[in-house]
Structure 1
């Protein structure tokens, strides 16, 4: 039961961090590209790769991995918002930007997870 509560707490902290970062970026970024969601998901996927490598090498215990990845990063990252932003771009006939964002939202996080894993695998 305690693990469930801690995952919820970490998820809340992740959501709060996402809100703060999202708000900060949106105050200065006034362009069509949804930079705040993109940056948040890039950070989250890189950190997920780091955490996965650390867990695979038994640097961190399963409980820490669970709290960080499922809890904090689960609350921090936001794939559903990215999809909603893509749909809005398409609906508003910004086809080029929507297509770019779609590709970037899929390709860049895969690269980030891989880089996170590589960086985490070299640290012992």
Structure 2
């Protein structure tokens, strides 16, 4: 059952990532990977919210598996983040690469913490 939940969440998460990434990136005329940053930050927030809801609101583990592991796992993308950071460095966009790396890490952790805190407040 767990594998099926992960699979079903991934079926929705992967295309959602692609569509949001393309939409956000189209809105910015910049070498900075705003699309990837957007999906990773929103996915971090949702994952924090899910685990907070599990701990404080009694969200069933099956929902965390479906939405957290399945959807968020397919929605967020560490590999694209890594590749785009390297690409920025290769193009000489050192400042943008540093901002992407540091910003993604710091803001991602803060987004996850905010999601968890919101669920705790609601509980």
TM-score band, normalised by shorter chain: over 0.9
Q: Whole-Å Cα distance in 2 between the matches of residues 94 and 32 of structure 1?
A: 8
Unaligned runs of 5+ in 1: none
**Counterparts of 1:10 and 1:114, CA distance in 2:** 22
Mapping 1:1-124, distance limit 5 Å: 2-124=1-123
Range with bigger deviation, 104-113 or 16-25: 16-25
Equivalent pairs counted in the alignment come to 123
List structure 1 segments (4+ residues) > 3 angstroms apart after TM superposition: none
Q: Partners in 2 of 1:100 and 1:58 — Cα distance? A: 35
RMSD value over aligned CA atoms?
Answer: 1.1
Deviations 1:35-71 (A, max 9, x none): 0000101100011111111111252111111111000
How big is the shift at 1:109?
0.4
Give the structure-1-normalised TM-score.
0.94
Q: Secondary structure at the match of 2:31?
A: coil
Length-normalised TM-score, structure 2: 0.94
Gaps of 5+ in 2: none
